[in-house]
Chains A and B, each alone.
Chain A
Amino acid sequence: MNRETIDQFGRPAKFEDDGSGIHQMSDRRNVLDQCPSSHKEGKPVATPASARALSAATGKSYWRSLDDLAGTKDFRSFVEREFPAMASELLDGSRRHFLRIMGASLALAGAATVPGCRRPDHKILAYNRQPEDVIPGVPLFYATAMPLPGGSCEGLLAETYEGRPTKLEGNPLHPENRGKSSVRAQAAILDLYDPDRGPAVAEALTGEAGAAVKATPLADAVAQTREAFAQIGAAKGRGLAFLVEKTTSPSRDALRDRVLSAGKWPEARWFAYEAIDNEGELAATRAVLGGPAKALHDFSQARVVVSLGHDFLTCGAGVSDSRGFAAARYRDGDAGHEASGSSMSRLYVFESMLTLTGGQADHRWAVRPSRIAACAMALARAVASKLDAAAARGLTDALGRAAASDGAGVPSADVFNAIADDLLNARGTSLLAAGEHQPAQVHALVAALNAALGNVGRTVRYVPLKGDAGQSSLASIRALKEAIDAGQVSTLVVVGANPVYSAPADLAFAESYAKVPLTVHLGEADETAAASKIHVARTHFLESWGDVETWDGVYSVVQPMIDRLYAGTASDLELLASLAGESDTDPYFIVRNTVRARAGNADFEKLWRRTLHDGMSPAGQPRGPAMAVDFAGVARALAEPLPAAGDGLEILFLASPQVHDGRMANNGWLQELPDAVTKLTWDNAILMNPATAQRLGFSTDRHPVTPQYCHGEMMTLSVGGRSVDAPLWPQPGLADDTVAVHLGYGRRVCGRVARGSGFDFFGVRPGSGQGFASGVTVEAARGKSPYLLATTQDHWTLEGRDILREVDLPRWQKFGDIDYLKAKDLQKDPYDRTRRLNFAGLLGMESHTPANVDMYEATQKNAYALRFTEEDENGNPLRDEKGNIVPIKNVHGKPIQQWGMSIDLTTCTGCGACMVACQAENNVPIVGKKEVAKGREMHWIRVDRYYSTAPTSEAQKDTLGVGDDSAILADADMMVMPVTCVHCENAPCEVVCPVNATVHDEQGNNNMAYNRCIGTRYCSNNCPYKVRRFNFFDYATKQFRGNFAGKDLTEKLPEIARPPSEHFVPPRLRQKKLEVATMQHNPHVTVRSRGVMEKCTYCIQRVNAARVETKLADLNLIPDGFVQTACQQACPTDAIVFGDIYDSWSGNGAGSRVKQKRGDGRSYQLLAYLNTRPRTTHMLRIRNPNPALVDASRRARWDHPLGHGHGGSDHSAPHGSGGHEAKPEGHVMSLPILTPSRGALA
């Protein structure tokens, strides 16, 4: 056993060698005997209680006086706080005091080292002997897992530098992630270093007056509650209740079972609660499948997908849904026939609010939330009528007994017949999914349809939910409330949940909560913490041992990466075990025992190591038997009347894609990540279709105050007698008469990041309508001025430009493979010169521009020999025997790899994982709401979102063209497009920089030399893609003293004296960032100062690291796929591909993946006509509409090889008004384009 494996941060640096010594040291510091012999049993050996006592027993006596100091409480607290946030003790004290402290540290070190193998192991020490594998500056990766809200997990790899985790990546072995990761997983690392998590800081961070949050260290909490629990123990647990967040942790389940066991507290009550839960599915599966179950979807096998309000791309299980969907979404054909042989799944979406899933849809209908059920019913009837009798029997019977439903507000029967035909053609490979806000009937119908279509077991799998996950949250919180009100609860332990904030509004839970005599809360410093008698701050999952299972039973150990940053914090296992008086309260041993129990007869140590190394247990098996759909249950579920089409407005409550139910609200990356659809940051709003807003008499002007800033008019939203004031944000794509709101904002007690961001719609969410509710009124809030909303993209339409190209699958299949170089009449430019354009290129403006003629190529024909003998500075020929350009070679004659990227718009869903991954990798700072509102966000990669709609009239066509987006209403299509620095070969930025700060390197990267940049910003002006980001202030190095959401800490000053933004405070008057906040930084990436420009670097630090690795492996070149950019690595749908664009040796001669992508007919260069020659290319988006559901003019274009692609509004408009119809073979430039909706680019 190697004791050097504990690094200077007290974090186990290497887990594989031995697990026994690497548990939570700081709380087991009474285990001072680290001798391997005594650890074989894994039991602590009784030792003297403190270092002081130890020293008295075994140390040299002449240290005693210093030991006295070392034993004082103050000093101990200093030592225990391994990351003193401000190191205030050192600053406060005199030099003499400092020396005393140093001396005492030495003394402790002496006490530690002298007694041989007995030494405390929780101190900061430089490496005495270099541990194996730990090389300063070279990261180590460890497997861990991140529990997800409500259950399941993501399997992750943590990148650590000398014991400091800096980045999380998907675990390639984990079936949920397969190397990919979600937005949430990418952002989780920031929570670890959240300064507001520490108990010391939480005190100062009360949200509202009187809501003081004081965290109690676990040991104190246990001591304070000892008496109460003794009484409870005597009463067999009567009066004790637990309210826990839902999780799928086997260790916690085991603890629960022990706590509730007969010998302990059998009469205690245990409630599982999630603020945003899938109540409908739980109820439906109880009726249909006989027990609570979770529908797991395998989109990769689904050819036809129907979503009934289910936004699986945003809130599907982890990332596997997105990955599976993308895998089936588009498949290339055989080599050489990519287009004609390609296939694609088809997605129908019925939804109320425009979501990412709706944005991917081939056909989308905006339906009010209450009408989704009617859609499901209509679809079921259509399918039942077309199924053969035997297969349809169960379904028909169930439908026959269903309550009547009206067809108001539902698409026409033709729609459902067409979908039904499609579903029947894809029996067994179709998939229906229902949204979590939908009632049980919809889930039951979807289960019945899946069963009738033979999808169950193929594309849909129902896994039973056991324990906490199967409980209804609504029932739990109701029962708890009733128990409290009945005086049955004397002690309430809340683990993780925040019911005071998120409980249904009509329960008035906060009042009941205050009545409980003893409340113990473990979690963030939130509303419930403020209302609790005892609040224990919770550890981050990277700080403490734990375990978790995926829905289908893949077991992972949540492995910590660092010792807890804040003393006194506890994990849920630790708290429960301590309160229950368990003999083993160390989560490390709790988890080990769980694994031991699961190991059965297998070699436990081997299994343990395997589990830690792989990040999951090899024994993980899909759990439970397959569950069969019982149509009688469906009939029972359908006997309940469907939601009626009410009059008036309906409200849809959605989990925020960023902060979920508010638990991620203190994460700056997530707050600043623009919502994929609304593009709002730092806030939520009342979302309403512009037409509905206008009908209600509200202005849809997004700039009522100044043209620069978006504002929302303040509205009072009332549901069932409760109301909340929030701004109105016109949002295309919503169903008429529907209001959508995101939950999780408007936190009242929270950290400094979340403070002031958004509005709390939990306050109006009734328990009866957790997903949606009717009887909503929205009226203008009197006397409230418009509210500033920070959006990263103000413009809605493409303005008729060919930036984002789109084509329907049949047309692509027919024409995508045409070799345009051979089709003579198609390849000439207006000057009769040969042009090299692929299918996607011909859809764009570059097809109108003259061919780019390389003047050197022209010379070469005449002076062949001269060109041939040309050499570069290293003596390598520039051309081969045939005169083709050969890759540049370095001094050793090895080719220099040329990097490039491809972004596939067909599979990109716009989730934003790339944005957060880039932020984590490249130390991209957050700037706060006011700066975002100004347009100063720093994201290196952004996801552009455009809406388009089929123009219904000529007049509308014109208005769309000039950017009046009021015409974009419910039926808007959404398109997303990630844009980052495209690393132009002809980079416009490089020419104009006066100080050579942005230059090309020989690998084709467009680099930024930060120390050369003086900040003229000319490069950004000249960048046609506007991907450069400027540090207007010291965003990265100075602490933001204000409230990120726009209010500043100088609130006490009179209005006039306040700086317009916290950033207006000169840097020297501001504090440096807290040390803990800078610990997340990637050590390989410069932290940029103010006044310099920055942008995407193609993660050049990763390329360089990969080059070192390949050199060590004695390889000439970095193999394809060996280096991944951060965005690529995170991308759940694999839309981003990065590699060497000249690599022709990989893939059995097919070339690197990026090379293949660039050769694809779908590949095009953004703004190619500028001849910037981007290294990052985009691949056009393909939609796969049902021919039965599109109009004739759209179908006609499928036979048209060169009609123009997507230009914003050009969904249905034929390319008639340009010169094309008249001369189908030619491609003249259309001139009448003063009205952009006509002509060349319309």
Chain B
Amino acid sequence: MSTLQPDQATALGLAGRGRRGFDPDTIDGTLISDPSVRPPLVLGDRDFHSVTNTICGWIENRTPAWWFPAFMISAGIAGLGTAMILFLIVTGVGVWGLMNPVMWSWDITNFVWWVGIGHAGTLISAILCLLKQKWRTSINRFAEAMTIFAVICAGTFPGIHVGRVWMAWMLFPIPNSNWIWPNFRSPLLWDVFAVGTYFTVSLLFWYMGMIPDLATLRDRALARINVPVRLGPVGLPGMGFLDKITEQIVLPLNRVAAFVYGFLAMGWRFSTRHWNNYEKAYLMLAGISTPLVLSVHSVVSFDFAVSILPGWHTTIFPPYFVAGAIFSGFAMVLTLLIPARELYPGMKDFVTAKTIENMCKIITVTGSMVGFAYMMEFFIAWYGANPFEIQTFVRRAFGPYWWAYWTMITCNVISPQVFWFKWCRTNIPFIFLISILVNIGMWFERYVILTTLSGDFLPSSWAYFSPTYVDIFTFVGSIGIFMTLFLLFCRFLPMLAISEVKNVMPMADPHAYDVGHGGHGHNGHGHNGHNGHGVRNGHAANTGAY
């Protein structure tokens, strides 16, 4: 990407910034300050074919060298986390630092944190879809995958934190010999429904959106089905004879890929009827998901808001939790996206600086909402004149957990405010740093809420919670599980929605003005020349602004 691309030059010209001070690696020309001009969403002088080639190439090419160590480390951490979970189940919940009165701590902190992270994906794919925010197309697959994996991690914690894990099925309203339904008044049961629904819908949404891309991968694998893939030399020192053997071994990888992708593609044939149904289904799922984005974290917040504890029993929790969830979700998307953008060649053409800037803006908005909520908590505590409530908030800020509280404030309230400055929201390493801080801050927000338990009504029961190593490694392990799943996703599934990205390219719109490539001609070329690489047929009427 060292040379200036023609459309970047155009964008720069539009932005009126000239070539001075231009850093092609960070600012790619999409940051146009003129509101009347829309920057391009895909850079790099790409046609449909190159889009397909780039995105599928990440899967089809040889595994990048960094992937194996990354995967090994992640899988190792995931294994550690799994070992901790097994130890917990075998021995008892007491291996965590929980005690009376702090009966929940890192377990539920982690649960809420992961659920919160899981919010970004659905928000991007559903709400931004309905709002016709086209820049989302380059990140929605990525964010949805993150959502799925985050919810998997989140769902682990309520499952394992119960005292008798082997009886956890009693949470579900299934007919059983006890003849007893679960307690429908309990927010924990609502959690089961809310998180379960959210996971199911998110998974469907993600998978359904992926079907055309899976079909593309299938077709490309079929095309290469007879190309032998050899194991290649092992390269062990002094074991040259092994290389001779392994060079002869032919792996049926293309055949397997064709089968697996073909199975997952569910017979997609790029027919117009398919596309028609797909678009309808996509819109419907977006509609269904939209309320879920709001409901899941509202319900999770009910775990606290429904209780009677000072600091928990507040009506502000549902909106405050949802804002926090989007906040942390976007931060996590950035945390994952920024390295991926560097590591995968060509990805910067799709995930432009403008996209990242947009996300920073959302982080600032939601971060300010969260900060406002913290302020309101204090105000209501004072205004409500309930001494228990006041004491709780004074204790949060100045009590034994002051460090957690001020970490939260620093990371969640202060750090996102830097995005008011353009330099901050266009400087990629800096954004990465802030996204990490926000992730930390949002974890501490949940922790601070749970520290309420350490001192509620009767001072005789007040106590201080400290985590054990099992607490810590279970949490770290959950990050390992998340990263493992994510790396597998990067390696084997299309990280970007090929068909959707093509959809927002200028050539997808036959009536768009020419930015250097013939609109009609190009479109026709894309369609006819290449076995239908996921480009919808004809002049699809959904290209909006262009």
A residues apposed to B, CB below 8 Å: 703, 706-708, 793-795, 797-801, 803, 845, 931, 934-937, 942, 944-946, 962-963, 977, 979, 988, 990-996, 1012-1018, 1020-1022, 1024-1026, 1028-1034, 1060-1061, 1063-1068, 1089-1093, 1167, 1170, 1172, 1229-1231, 1233-1234, 1236, 1240-1241
Inter-chain contact count A-B, CB under 8 Å? 212
Judge whether B171 is part of the interface by a CB distance below 8 angstroms. yes
The reply to whether B164 and A1013 contact each other, CB–CB distance below 8 Å, is: yes
| B residues in contact with A963, CB < 8 Å | 459
Residues of A within 8 A of B178 (CB): 1012
Contact with A along B145-188 (1 / 0, CB 8 A): 00000000000001001111101101100000010111101111
Q: Quick one: which of B93, B182, B458, B465 contacts A944, CB cutoff 8 A?
A: B458
Measured CA separation A944–B457 after assembly (Å): 13
B79-111 to A contact mask, C-beta < 8 Å, 1/0 = 000000001001111110111111110000000
B462 touches A795 (CB 8 A): yes
Q: A1020 to B170, Cβ gap below 8 A?
A: no
Do A991 and B91 touch (CB < 8 A)? no
Chain A residues with Cβ below 8 Å from B465 are 708
Cα distance, A742 to B513, chains bound together (Å): 93
One of A708, A979, A1016, A1020 near B460 (C-beta < 8 A) = A979
Contact check, A994 vs B188: say whether CB atoms are below 8 A apart.
yes
Distance of B380 from chain A, by nearest CB (Å): 13
> Whole-angstrom distance from the CB of B398 to the nearest CB of chain A?
8
B218 CB to closest chain A CB, in angstroms? 43
Report B's interface with A, CB cutoff 8 A: 87, 90-95, 97-104, 158, 161-165, 167-168, 170-171, 178, 180-183, 185-189, 192, 303, 306-309, 382, 385, 387-388, 390-391, 394, 400, 453, 456-466, 468
A1014→B97 CA distance, assembly (Å): 19
**Sample of 7 further A-B pairs with CB below 8 A, known A794-B462, A803-B458:** A793-B460, A797-B459, A936-B94, A992-B185, A1022-B308, A1091-B164, A1172-B308
Inter-subunit contact B164/A1092 (CB<8 Å): yes
CB pair B103 A993 closer than 8 Å: no
A1026 lies within 8 A of B182 (CB)? no
Are the CB atoms of A1017 and B460 closer together than 8 Å?
Answer: no
How near does chain B come to A405, taking the closest CB pair, in angstroms?
42
User: Can you list 30 contacts pairing A with B, beta carbon distance less than 8 Å?
Assistant: A703-B464, A708-B97, A708-B463, A799-B391, A800-B387, A934-B97, A944-B460, A963-B459, A988-B308, A991-B186, A992-B187, A993-B188, A994-B183, A1012-B170, A1014-B167, A1016-B188, A1018-B104, A1018-B307, A1021-B101, A1026-B101, A1026-B458, A1033-B94, A1060-B468, A1061-B94, A1064-B91, A1065-B91, A1090-B94, A1091-B164, A1167-B458, A1234-B390
- State whether B188 touches A1018 (Cβ < 8 A): yes
* Structural contact, A1234 and B394, CB atoms closer than 8 A: yes
Query: Are B309 and A935 in contact (CB-based, < 8 A)?
Result: no
Please measure, in the bound complex, the distance between the C-alpha atom of A977 and the C-alpha atom of B460, giving whole angstroms.
10
Bound: A1016/B303 CA distance, A:
12
Q: Which residues of chain A have C-beta atoms less than 8 A from B163's C-beta?
A: 1013-1017, 1030-1032, 1090-1093
Q: Are B101's CB and A795's CB within 8 A?
A: no
Interface contact B463-A935, CB-CB below 8 Å: yes
Q: Tell me which residues across on chain B come within 8 A of A1066, comparing CB atoms.
A: 87, 90-91
Closest to B100 in A: A935
A996 touches B459 (CB 8 A): no
Identify which of A942, A1015, A1233 contacts B385 (C-beta below 8 A): A1233
Q: Which residues of A contact B162 (CB under 8 A)?
A: 1014-1016, 1091
In the A-B complex, the 5 residue pairs with the smallest Cβ-Cβ separation, listed nearest first, are A1015-B163, A1091-B163, A1032-B94, A935-B99, A944-B460
Contacts of B99 in A (CB 8 A): 934-936, 1032
Q: Judge whether A794 and B391 touch: CB under 8 Å.
A: no
Which chain A residues border B456 with CB–CB below 8 Å?
1024, 1026
- How many angstroms between the C-alpha atoms of A701 and B396 in the bound complex? 21
| Interface contact B458-A979, CB-CB below 8 Å | yes
Q: In the complex, A934 Cα to B90 Cα: how many Å?
A: 20
**Contacting residues, chain B, for A1028 (C-beta < 8 A):** 100
Contact A992 B186, CB 8 Å, known A793-B460, A979-B458, A1014-B168: yes
A1030 CB contacts on chain B under 8 angstroms: 93, 100, 103, 163
Q: Name the residue of chain B whose CB is nearest to the CB of A1022.
A: B307
Residues of B within 8 A of A931 (CB): 94
Distance in Å: Cβ of B454 to nearest Cβ of chain A? 10
User: Which residue of chain B has the shortest Cβ distance to A797 in the bound complex?
Assistant: B459
Contacts of B158 in A (CB 8 A): 1016
Q: Which residue of B lies closest to A1032 (CB)?
A: B94
* A991-B306, A1240-B387 as given contacts; A1029 in contact with B187, CB under 8 Å: no
A1034 and B186 within 8 A (CB): no
CA of A920 to CA of B43, assembled, Å: 77
A1233 and B384 CA atoms in complex are apart in Å by 11
Q: Contacts of B187 on A, CB cut-off 8 Å?
A: 992
Q: Given the complex, which residues of B lie within 8 Å of A1231, measured CB to CB?
A: 385
Q: For the complex, what is the distance from the CA of A1065 to the CA of B186, rounded to whole Å?
A: 33
Residue of B94, B98, B390, B456 with most chain A CB atoms under a 10 A cut-off: B94
Question: A1195 to nearest B CB, angstroms?
Answer: 28
Q: Which residue of A lies closest to B400 (CB)?
A: A707
Contact B382 A1234 (CB under 8 A): yes
Separation of A1018 and B189 alpha carbons in the complex (Å) = 12
Contact across chains for B100 and A1020 when beta carbons are under 8 A apart: yes
- Separation of A1018 and B101 alpha carbons in the complex (Å): 11
Given A935-B100, A935-B101, A1015-B162, also A707-B183 (CB < 8 A): no
Q: Which residue of B lies closest to A938 (CB)?
A: B100
Known pairs A991-B186, A1091-B162, A1234-B382; A1015 contacts B460 (CB<8 A):
no
Q: A1021-B453, A1229-B385 are in contact. Are A995 and B101 (CB under 8 A)?
A: no
What distance in Å separates the Cβ of B360 from its nearest Cβ neighbour in chain A?
A: 37
Pairwise interchain contact A995-B171, C-beta atoms closer than 8 A:
yes
Q: How far is the CB of B344 from chain A (nearest CB, A)?
A: 42
Q: Is the CB of A707 within 8 A of B464?
A: yes
Q: Which residues of A contact B391 (CB under 8 A)?
A: 799, 1236
Q: How far is the CA of A1018 from the CA of B107 in the complex (A)?
A: 12
Residue of A whose beta carbon sits closest to that of B381: A1234
Asked if A795 contacts B171 (CB within 8 A), the reply is no
Cβ of A1024 and Cβ of B91 under 8 Å apart? no
- Chain A residue numbers with a CB within 8 Å of B306 are 991-992
Q: Pick the contact of A994 from B91, B192, B307, B462 — CB < 8 Å?
A: B192
Name the one of A945, A1017, A1068, A1236 contacting B90, with C-beta atoms under 8 angstroms.
A1068
CB-based contact B94/A1063 at 8 Å: yes
Contacts of A1020 in B (CB 8 A): 100-101, 103
Task: List A contacts of B192 (CB < 8 A).
Answer: 994
Cα distance, A977 to B458, chains bound together (Å): 11
What is the distance, in angstroms, from A782's C-beta to the closest C-beta of chain B? 28
Closest to A1093 in B: B163
Q: Nearest A residue to B98 by beta-carbon distance? A: A1032
B164:A991 contact, CB within 8 angstroms: no
A151 to chain B, nearest CB (A): 37
User: Do residues A1024 and B101 form an inter-chain contact, with CB atoms below 8 A?
Assistant: no
Closest to B186 in A: A994
